Structure 1
Amino acid sequence: MDLNGKTAIITGAASGLGRAIAKRFVAAGAKVAIADLNLAAAETTAKELSSTGQTMALVMDVTSEDAVNAGVAKVAEAWGRIDILVSNAGIQIVHKLEEFPFADWKKVMAIHLDGAFLTSKAVLPIMYKQNSGQIIFMGSVHSKLASPLKSAYVAAKHGIMGLARVIAKEGAAHGVRTNVICPGFVKTPLVEKQIPEQAKTLGISEEEVVKKVMLGGTVDGEFTTLEDVAEVAFTFASFPTNALTGQSLVVSHGWFME
């Protein structure tokens, strides 16, 4: 399987998981739009990956319908089609629920859940016209279970599961499939930022956060890698039939099993 002739938009793709997925897609032959809030970083990533394939950089605030629509239109105009959307942009803010600022709650929900909705809404008419498309949401093990301090994140990631299933039902008649990747802890800047935050909130050392809170439930005490997640994204993007739609795949070193 490969992605030759396919075009993809990946949000939050200037770094971390998004960049790793973009790298894997480019290696598989896809044209990839690197969409990110930070245009300079997106341009750097696009340039780095362009040595092995075709890329473009997009500035995109996934919480803005106008920004999302403009970015999607730019890709469709440049490349004539959109085959794959990876809704990956995300943040993490941790607080006890009773202390969670409403503004922070809304920010987490907007980037994760509104972003997934708006980007899907923008690409679906194009995919429906093509009678084909793949939408991949970045969920989390927290799409399946809950952890203290992460009420907004857990709620958003659970919501993404429901959204994906609805799109799978609605999109089937138009050749559109959607699936969710549910990683465990991947050592990205997003996760590294949480280590001191959780240590402070929980009153434990940063080493204990890593060994007990983050990796204590895994089978081997190992972080999931960027490459692990990128390979799952490639599998979803290249899978050819409706046998794999409305599904989620946990990539977590056994932290969560189903």
Structure 2
Amino acid sequence: MKNPGKAAAFSRMKTGLFASAKPWNKSLTEFVQALDPVKSIVNLPKHAKLLEEGQLPEGIFVLLHGSVKLFVGLKGGKTLILRVVQSGEVLGLSAAMSGRPAEYTAETLSPTQFLYVPRKDFMALLDRHPEIWISVVEVLSHQLREAFSMIHYSSGSQPAIEKLGDLLEQWAAESGETTERGIELKLPLTQEEIGQMIGVSRETVSRLLAEFEQRGILQLEGSRVCIVKGRSLSELSSPKERKGEPGKFGGDPSAEHTGTPPRSAPDKVDPHHQETIH
């Protein structure tokens, strides 16, 4: 798992990727720096699995570049997607610390680069340098807050149009690129996966995206989305919009309405090949 370019990669990470005056980023930087003696760089292809729900993790991962989806299995073979995480996320820490199986599956959505530390090396590092525990507790505390946010989001009663709007705005803030047209981004999930995340069907996701486009808020180009300059996704999720027009989403806050739907947005292609780390 060694990589000859790891010194340069970690130098960039310390000075750029995680460097920030924000308290959380400061704690994360300190945590990453504490891993210096035992770290290595791992490059993984799309659809590789770092963690599998119910299985003991081999170590911890810190995402440097790329994106990863976190999901759990439900009864009946269904899947609940919890989050899509970007650079700076620490994966497998709580399971590695407790020695218990992973709580979720983590699968790469693109070619991805990680900092990797085997569990046995990490635990030995903590024994030799107990001062690192402070950084570990801060990382776990942050992840606990994120978990509560996920529960609130997944179990919330807000309409699907609001959930989709919030999700797209979150992705735009995390990985969007500002251009002359607006904020452009590539959807990290297929429409079916987005539906799994917000609790609706793929058809509903397609109708909602098409509605955003018809209102001039979004421009859709395959799996790429542009939030038009000067517009906001919150425009369609406001109470005024939901209550205003017959036949629009105001008549049914869940967006699972009847009648003639708007033009469906094209779904993105998602290959099914998967790889698992052993």
TM-score (norm 2): 0.24
Q: Which has the larger radius of gyration?
A: 2
TM-score (norm: length of structure 1): 0.25
Per residue, is there more strand in 1 or in 2? Answer: 2
Larger helix proportion of the pair:
1
